[in-house]
A and B are shown apart, each in its own frame.
Chain A
Amino acid sequence: MGCASSKRSKRTPGYEEPTVLAAETPFTVSEVEALYELYKKLSNAIIADGLIHKEEFQLALFRNRNRRNLFADRIFDLFDVKRNGVIEFGEFVRSLGVFHPNAPVADKIAFAFRLYDLRQTGFIEREELKEMVLALLHESDLVLSEDVVETIVDKTFTDADTKGDGKIDTEEWKEFVSKHPSLIKNMTLPYLKDITLAFPSFVVASEVEE
C-alpha cells in the first residue's frame, strides 16, 4: 500500500484500511478499494472534503441535491453511525455490507426494522407506519382517501402486531418478514456481488491486485 494509502488517510477523516474493512464485511480487499473510488466521487460531488453530506447523498440517489425523502433520510441516518452529520468511508462500507447478497438475512431484517423505527423507540408504531405510507403516497403523487389509507395501515399493523400490544417489536418483525420475504428486497444490491466486474472503471483506479 505504501505512501498512497497513508497520504489518503491523512486527508480523509474516517478513512479505514481496505484490509480492515474487508475483514469485517462481505467485501474483498479489492472490492473495498473499488468502493473507495465510488466513495471519492460521491463525497466530493458538492463539498470536496472526502465526506458524504446529506445533499451529496440526495444527489447520488435522485440526481437532485435538494430532493428530500423520508426514507433516504433514514438510510443516511443509519449509515451515519457516529451521528456527526456525514457518512465516512468506514461507515459507508460497513453499512453497504448489509446490502451485500452474501450478508446474513438476519442483518438485513434488523437493518430494515431500524429503518422503519422512525423515532428509534425499539418498536415500529402504528403512527410511524401511517407516516411512512403517507410519505410514499406523496413521493409517488398517489392520492388515496383517508379511509383507504387507514384500512391499509390497520390491516398490515394487525397482521404484524401478533401480540396485540399496539407496537411491532423485533420478534414480531422477524416473523412478519418470514411470511413476506419480499419486504426486504431492497436490502440486497446485486451490484455489490463482484462489484469490480459490475464497474470495471472503478477497478482501473484501485490499487490492490487480488
Chain B
Amino acid sequence: VVPATMNAFELISTSQGLNLSSLFEK
C-alpha cells in the first residue's frame, strides 16, 4: 500500500536499479 502522502522521491529510491550493493554480492 502506497500512502498518497508519500514522498515521490522516497518511493523512487526503493528501486532495485538504484541499489548498487548487489554489484558486490557473491
Contact = CB atoms under 8 A, between A and B. Distances in A.
A70 B18 CA distance: 10
A142 B21 contact: no
Interface in B1-26: 2, 4-24
Interface string A108-140: 000000011000000000000100110111011
Q: What is the size category of the interface that chain A forms with chain B? A: 35 or more
A108 to B, nearest CB: 12
In terms of DSSP, what is the predominant structure of the interface of chain B?
helix
Contacts of A73: 17
A183 B10 contact: yes
B20 A99 contact: yes
A176 B2 CA distance: 21
A118 to B, nearest CB: 11
B23 A155 contact: no
A10 interface: no
A84 interface: no
Interface of A: 38, 42, 60-63, 69-75, 96, 99, 115-116, 129, 132-133, 135-137, 139-140, 142, 144, 148, 151-153, 155-157, 159-160, 176, 180, 182-183, 185-186, 189-191, 195, 198-199
